Chain A
Amino acid sequence: RKEVEQDPGPFNVPEGATVAFNCTYSNSASQSFFWYRQDCRKEPKLLMSVYSSGNEDGRFTAQLNRASQYISLLIRDSKLSDSATYLCVVNRNTPLVFGKGTRLSVIA
Chain B
Amino acid sequence: ETGVTQSPTHLIKTRGQQVTLRCSSQSGHNTVSWYQQALGQGPQFIFQYYREEENGRGNFPPRFSGLQFPNYSSELNVNALELDDSARYLCASTPASGRTHNEQFFGPGTRLTVL
Bound-state CA distance A52–B102 (Å) is 17
Interface residues of A in 77-108 (CB under 8 A from B): 87, 91, 93-101
Chain B: how many interface residues by the 8 Å CB criterion? 23
Task: Say whether, besides A87-B42, A101-B42, A93 and B107 are in contact (CB < 8 Å).
Answer: no
CA distance A43 to B58 in the complex (A): 20
Which of B40, B41, B48, B106 is the one whose CB lies under 8 Å from A44?
B106
Q: Which B residue sits closest to A44, measured CB to CB?
A: B106
Residue A46 lies at the interface, judged by CB distance under 8 Å to chain B: yes
Chain A neighbourhood of B2, CB < 8 A:
43, 45
Query: Given A94-B48, A98-B43, A99-B42, A42–B108 Cβ distance below 8 Å?
Result: yes
Residues on B with beta carbons closer than 8 Å to the beta carbon of A42: 108
Among residues of A, the one whose C-beta sits closest to the C-beta of B100 is A49
The docked-state distance in angstroms from the alpha carbon of A96 to that of B58 is 10
Q: By CB atoms of chain B within 10 A, which of A32, A44, A45, A87 has the most? A: A44
Sample (28) of A-B pairs whose CB atoms are under 8 Å apart: A32-B102, A43-B2, A43-B90, A43-B109, A44-B43, A45-B2, A46-B103, A46-B104, A87-B42, A93-B56, A94-B48, A95-B33, A95-B45, A95-B56, A95-B58, A96-B35, A96-B45, A96-B92, A96-B102, A97-B45, A98-B35, A98-B42, A98-B44, A99-B42, A100-B40, A100-B41, A100-B42, A101-B42
B residues at A contact (CB < 8 Å): 2, 33, 35, 40-45, 48, 55-56, 58, 90, 92, 100, 102-104, 106-109
